[in-house]
Amino acid sequence: MSRTSRRSVLTFLGILGLCIATTIAQDRAGSTPNKGQPLNTKDISLDQAHAVLAAAVKKAQELKINQDIAVVDAGGNLKAFVRMDNAWLGSIDISIKKAKTARFFDMPTGEIGKLSQPGKPLYQIEVSNGGLISFPGGVPIRGGDDTVIGAIGVSGSTVENDDACAQAGAAAAK
């Protein structure tokens, strides 16, 4: 490698390092590690996941509906799931996909649906990631300091009811 090209690489790396440092400072998760140290992250515990499920089930009971309810962790991986008796079989996959979608983009699934309509910026995003669900019922779960620690997905009724149960569930983790 010539001295010139080496210098440009170093310059580049310097700039990149700066960018990364800035990025870290802006990190949503608020965990600024020392350089070379791993990120400090937060993840939903099973105890919290259970509280989330219980709150969503309670809401479903108040609404007199039967729901499929899934909770994923900060990595988007399934943490806990229940299907209430007589809830739809087709909602197993949908509730899990709603939870994953909400964590994949850290926003309620319905927000993605607004952007994925024909002519909109994220048209057909649903075919990615093995299938996303872009209608309401998936909600990020935030810990005490507002970090996203997982997500809940609910399916089995109207999207309004699904969202109400998901909101009730997510609120229980705070």
- Name which of residues 79 to 118 contact its own copies (CB under 8 A): 79-86, 88-94, 97, 101, 103-106, 113, 116-118
C-beta of 44 vs 139, nearer to its own copies = 44
Binding mask 19-48 for its own copies (x = CB under 8 A): xxxxxx-xxxx---x-xxxxxxxxxxxxxx
Min CB(152)–its own copies separation in Å? 14
| Contact between residue 23 and residue 124 where contact means Cβ atoms under 8 Å apart | no
Per CB under 8 A, 3 contacts its own copies: no
| Contact between residue 166 and residue 151 where contact means Cβ atoms under 8 Å apart | no
Per CB under 8 A, 171 contacts its own copies: no
CA 131 to each of CA 78, 126, 128: distance values in angstroms, whole numbers, following the listed order? 15, 5, 6
Per CB under 8 A, 146 contacts its own copies: no
Quote the radius of gyration of the chain (alpha carbons, Å). 20
Per CB under 8 A, 154 contacts its own copies: no
Diameter over CA atoms, the chain: 73
- The enclosing H or E element of 83 equals strand 78-83
SS3 39: coil
Number of H helices, E strands in the chain: 5, 4
Six-digit token pair at 135? 């209608």
Six-digit token pair at 79? 């943490």
Min CB(73)–its own copies separation in Å? 7
Size of the site for its own copies (CB under 8 A): 101
Binding mask 50-79 for its own copies (x = CB under 8 A): xx-xx--xx-xx--x-x------xxxxxxx
- Indicate which single residue of 108, 140, 143, 153 sits in contact with its own copies (rule: CB under 8 A): 143
Min CB(25)–its own copies separation in Å? 9
